[in-house]
Amino acid sequence: MARYTGPKHRLARREGVNVLDKTSQSLQRRLNVPPGIHGKKRKRRLSEYGTQLREKQKAKATYGLLEKQFKKLVQTVQKRKGETGEMIVALLETRLDNLVYRLGFAKSRTMARQFVSHGHIFVNGKKVNIPSYAVRVDDVISISETIQKNPVVAELLNDKEMQILPFIKKQGVSGKLVRMPKKEDLVVPFDLQLIIEYYSR
């Protein structure tokens, strides 16, 4: 199944959650109205399966994952000991493309994915072009000199108000994963328990 490349506003309204990585007043007003000419009329109660499916779709849309990737991630976690929901968040958050976004080197996860794919991101000084690469604790992520000259990136690097999550540390054009993320570190716009139930059927 191909990754969705259509309008992000439409995707956000379909899932009922902001997946744009930024705040949009126009989207916030229409977030609970499904896309399409009959959007306002189409609101109906979902079945238990439908509700679980919706939450799974929200998570995939937020992190830009394909079904195969997301299913594999959840199944990997279900085989491990520990709190399943927290481990799902940890694996999603420690993807290389997500950390490039979280460190403020890209304005969206889509842009971060492109930077990684095009060879502009380094992990411990070595070029890594796999967006799903699992970053480990103490790994250092840095960006190429070429991408530092990008006007959007230059503006992001100068943003003094950029909030950095507690499990990462940023210094100039590099950043580090200092520990594995925990659920309380961030608010995810989907219900992890319903996602676990969906894949446990």
Same domain for 49 and 111?
no
The pLDDT score that the predictor gives to residue 132 is 95
> What pLDDT, on the 0 to 100 scale, is given for residue 12?
62
Q: What is the tens place of the pLDDT at every residue in 37-54?
A: 655 565 567 899 999 999
| One domain for residues 26 and 79 | yes
In a domain, 154, yes or no: yes
Nearest CA-CA partner of 156 in 172, 136, 135, 177: 172
Tokens of 19: 């997946």
28 plus 84 within the same structural domain: yes
Band (pLDDT 50/70/90 cuts) for residue 11 is low
Instruction: For residues 84 and 44, state if they share a domain.
Output: yes
Residue 3 domain-assigned (yes or no) = no
Residue 104 and residue 140 in one domain: yes
The pTM score is 0.79
- Asked if 100 and 141 touch (Cβ cutoff 8 Å), the reply is yes
* Residue 166, domain member (yes or no): yes
DSSP H helices, 143-201, are 145-148, 151-157, 192-199
Task: Give the pLDDT band (50/70/90) at residue 116.
Answer: very high
Question: Considering its fold, how many domains does the chain have in total?
Answer: 2
**The pLDDT of residue 124 is above 90:** yes
State the CATH number of the domain containing residue 45: 1.10.1050.10
170: in domain? yes
Angle, helix 192-199 to helix 84-93, in steps of 10 degrees: 100
115 in the same domain as 42: no
Among residues 130, 153, 142, which one has the least CA distance to residue 176?
142
Q: What integer is the mean pLDDT of 68-97?
A: 94
> Cα separation of 117 and 126, whole Å?
14
User: Could you tell me if 20 and 12 are in contact, meaning their C-beta atoms sit under 8 angstroms apart?
Assistant: yes
Confidence of residue 190 (pLDDT cuts 50, 70, 90): very high
Task: Let me know how many helices (H) and strands (E) the chain has, helices first.
Answer: 10, 5
Residue type, 137: V
pLDDT band at 56 (very low <50, low <70, confident <90, very high): very high
Q: For position 160, what pLDDT does the model report? A: 85
